[in-house]
């Protein structure tokens, strides 16, 4: 049996833009998000056989992105532990121009959240997914998703409160990651 990417891309075609947007929004920059998306596609190709119901491909694909995202977050953690270096600067230069200050602040704010909180906030606030759909994507209970959204919002609120009281310091911290 020879392997082909065709079945995956046939399913992916109608939703690829949404999935790529999700990857970009939970990553630290557009280019990091593109890398995340690419890695997720690669993993999805290897795992497609485990998809039981084609109707659930959308949530399944989002789950793959979530899984790859968590793996990358763990890698970043260990890289920092081993090398004693900070998180690398986002490689997407356009993100750091003055024209995108607001988007940059959103990225920086989201970066302060734990990965599951960040995913839940992005799925809920930007992609309009319901709590039940997010629970399916994150393989979590409904109460966990609610908790993640609540804690994520609390954290964002603290971030913006601190930002308004000490904007320079927070911006520098955000830039350092």
Partner 1 sequence: MADPWTTDLAALDTHSRSGLRSLAQARAALPEPEPKMRFFKAHPALAALIVIALLGLFTPVAYAIVDRVFLSVDVSKSETEIEQDLRDQLAAAGHGSATVKATKTDHEYAIEISSDNPDLGKVSFQIAAGGKTYNVNLDIPPTLTQDQGMAVGEAASQALQRPNHETDAAVQQQLETALRAAGLTDFTVVIRELEVTIVVRK
Q: Which long-range contacts (CB under 8 A, 24 or more apart) does 70-79 make?
A: 70/115, 70/116, 72/36, 72/39, 73/115
Q: Count the residues of the shown chain that bind partner 1, applying the rule CB under 8 A.
A: 45
Beta-carbon neighbour count of residue 96 at 10 Å?
A: 15
Handedness of CA 79, 114, 124, 95 (dihedral sign): negative
Task: Give CA–CA dist 23/37, Å, rounded.
Answer: 6
By CB under 8 A, the residues from 135 to 164 that bind partner 1 are: 153, 156-157, 160-161, 164
Q: Is 111 in the site for partner 1 (CB under 8 A)?
A: no
CA dist., res. 153 & res. 149, Å (int): 6
Q: Which range of residues in 31-39, 53-61, 136-144, 167-175 is near partner 1 by CB under 8 A? A: 31-39
Interface with partner 1 by CB under 8 A: which range of 35-43, 67-75, 81-89, 137-145? Answer: 35-43
Nearest alpha-carbon partner for 95 in 160, 166, 177: 177
Angle (CA) 36-60-68 rounded to 5° is 25
Q: Which two tokens stand for residue 23?
A: 């990857």
Q: Is 115 in the site for partner 1 (CB under 8 A)?
A: no
- Count how many residues are written for the chain: 177
Q: Does residue 165 belong to the site contacting partner 1 (CB under 8 A)?
A: no
Stretch that binds partner 1, among 74-82, 83-91, 93-101, 112-120 (CB under 8 A): 93-101
Least Å distance, CB 105 to partner 1, is: 5
Binding flag, residue 9, partner 1 (CB under 8 A): yes
Among the residue ranges 28-36, 59-67, 70-78, 83-91, the one whose residues contact partner 1 (CB under 8 A): 28-36
Q: Which residues bind partner 1 (CB under 8 A)?
A: 1-5, 9, 12-13, 16-17, 20-21, 24-25, 30, 33-34, 37-38, 41-42, 45-50, 94-95, 100, 102-103, 105-107, 109-110, 125-126, 153, 156-157, 160-161, 164
């Amino acid at each position: 049996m020879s392997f082909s990417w065709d079945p995956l891309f046939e399913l992916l075609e109608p939703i690829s833009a949404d999935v790529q947007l999700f990857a970009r929004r939970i990553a630290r920059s557009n280019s990091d998000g593109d890398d995340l998306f690419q890695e997720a596609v690669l993993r999805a190709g290897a795992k497609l056989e485990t998809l039981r119901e084609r109707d659930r491909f959308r949530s399944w694909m989002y789950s793959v992105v979530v899984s790859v995202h968590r793996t990358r977050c763990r890698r970043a953690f260990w890289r920092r532990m081993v090398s004693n270096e900070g998180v690398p600067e986002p490689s997407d230069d356009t993100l750091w121009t003055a024209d995108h200050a607001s988007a940059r602040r959103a990225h920086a704010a989201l970066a302060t959240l734990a990965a599951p909180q960040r995913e839940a906030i992005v799925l809920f606030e930007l992609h309009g997914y319901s709590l039940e759909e997010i629970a399916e994507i994150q393989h979590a209970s409904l109460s966990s998703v609610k908790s993640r959204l609540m804690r994520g919002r609390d954290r964002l609120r603290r971030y913006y409160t601190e930002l308004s009281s000490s904007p320079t310091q927070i911006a520098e911290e955000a830039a350092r990651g």
